[in-house]
Amino acid sequence: MRERFALNWLRIPSGMRRALLLVLVGWGLLLISDRISEFRVYQGASVATYFVAIVSIVLLTGYSGQVSLGHGALLAIGGYSAALVMQNLHWPFWIAFFAAVFVAALVGALLGVAAARLSGPYLAGTTLAFAVGLPSLANQFSFLGGEQGLPFDIGVAPSRFGENFSPYKWLFWISALFALFAVWLAANLLRGRYGRIWRAVRSDETAAALSGVNVARSKVLAFTVSAGFAGLAGALLCATVSLVTPGGFPLSLSFAILTGAVIGGVRSLVGAVIGAFTLVILPMVADAIAQGASDAVSTNLPAVLTGVLLIATIVISPGGIAESLSHLGRKIALRRQKRI
């Protein structure tokens, strides 16, 4: 069926096709950002941020089969590195984003070396400990700004974008651009050699090793790449609030990211999009339910919903929404074939 799809896009090479598709999506997003309210634009930036974070889980858990309960800590490392680079070196913000990716990937590589030797529950517990403890470190080093944290301001749009180009729209454009870049990178990576290697290791370590795959190295690499994505997400997250604080990376953030990945489908980039939207919509749903209720209800309902959704997904459809949809699509296609 894919063969017939417009003569394979007029025979454009697949890598190029993906890039073209993303440019089109980006164009669409820019057009949309002009048509919707400021608040929705801001939420769009959140979706892009969560998306990058979830992609990092998809790479790690979905493809390499390793669990991390502590990705919030890697986001924190990304956020702090970006803020430090901006504050001390006064480089432009986009270099700060790459610094975030680099530092987080470096820490990820170190963690990955340990992680490659740990299995399931041990790795989960270690990463959980990492996430519980790391933010508190910020209080102990004065150059990290303590509880108040550090400012991280990506500024306003250059004047050539026009007078009424709002800061939110600027934030959204940047987040969307980085998110598209991230998905392009991830899609190429997963379709390529390393995606294959990761899948091989995930389904059977011994068989992969016998086929000449260096299992340990592939796991460390997966952790490193995943941490890089997490670092980028952390910098984006801090850009949305113009601030990096230890309180900005609670354990619930790590849980939320994992929930988004599981709900969407931990093995698919489409699932990551679904998951990112879910994470932004969930608090709105909670607000709607908790209307008129006390503060305690409205602040804690999202956590309850997150937990319940996470459990429900695992019990009802462990592959997440994306996999359920593709099952459904296959069923419909089969039925059609039968009719012909």
Partner 1 sequence: MQQFVNTLINGASLGSIYSLMALAMILVWRSTRVVNFAQAGQAVLSTYVGLEIHRITHSYPLTLIIAIIFGALFGALVDLLLVRPLMHRVGDGPIAAVAPVIVTLGLLSAIQGFVGLIWGGEYRSFPAALSQNGFKVGLTRIPFSPFDLFILFTTLLVMLAFAYIFQRSGLGLAMRAAAFEPEVARLAGVRVARVRTIGWAFAGGAGALAGALITPTTLLAPNSLDLLLVFGFTAAVLGGLESLVGGVVGGFLLGIGLALVVTYLGSSFTFITAFVVLIAVLLLRPRGLIGQRSVRNA
Could you list the residues that contact partner 1 (CB under 8 A)? 61, 65, 67, 69, 114, 117-122, 124-126, 128-130, 132-133, 136-137, 139-140, 250-252, 255, 258-259, 262, 266-267, 295-297, 299-311, 314-315, 318-319, 323
User: Residue 224 in 3-state DSSP?
Assistant: helix
Q: Whole-number minimum distance, CB 263 to partner 1, in Å?
A: 10
Q: Whole-number minimum distance, CB 334 to partner 1, in Å?
A: 20
Q: What residues contact 173, with CB distance under 8 A and at least 6 apart?
A: 30, 33, 157
Q: Residue 84, CB half-sphere, CA atoms under 13 Å: how many? A: 15
The total of other beta-carbon atoms located within 10 Å of residue 267's CB is 19
Q: Whole-number minimum distance, CB 92 to partner 1, in Å?
A: 34
Whether the Cβ atoms of residue 218 and residue 212 lie closer than 8 Å to each other: no
Q: Whole-number minimum distance, CB 55 to partner 1, in Å?
A: 17
Strands 243-244 and 150-151: what pairing? antiparallel
Closest-CA residue to 24 (of 183, 148, 140): 183
Q: Whole-number minimum distance, CB 9 to partner 1, in Å?
A: 30
Whether the Cβ atoms of residue 68 and residue 127 lie closer than 8 Å to each other: yes
CA distance 236 to 251: 18
Q: Which is nearer to partner 1, 26 or 65 (by Cβ)?
A: 65
* 227-to-14, 55, 74, 110 alpha-carbon distances in Å: 27, 10, 6, 10
Q: Whole-number minimum distance, CB 283 to partner 1, in Å?
A: 12
Beta bridge partners of 303: none
CA distance 307 to 317: 15
Q: Which is nearer to partner 1, 120 or 192 (by Cβ)?
A: 120
Q: Which is nearer to partner 1, 86 or 310 (by Cβ)?
A: 310
Q: Whole-number minimum distance, CB 125 to partner 1, in Å?
A: 5
Lookup: tokens for 13:
């090479």
Lookup: tokens for 227:
């941490």
Whether the Cβ atoms of residue 172 and residue 45 lie closer than 8 Å to each other: yes
Q: Which is nearer to partner 1, 215 or 305 (by Cβ)?
A: 305
Q: Which is nearer to partner 1, 86 or 262 (by Cβ)?
A: 262
Q: Which is nearer to partner 1, 23 or 129 (by Cβ)?
A: 129
Sign of CA dihedral 260, 262, 268, 274: negative
Closest-CA residue to 118 (of 69, 74, 66): 66
Q: Whole-number minimum distance, CB 154 to partner 1, in Å?
A: 31
In eight-state DSSP terms, residue 142 is: G
Q: Which is nearer to partner 1, 44 or 145 (by Cβ)?
A: 145
Q: Which is nearer to partner 1, 242 or 317 (by Cβ)?
A: 317
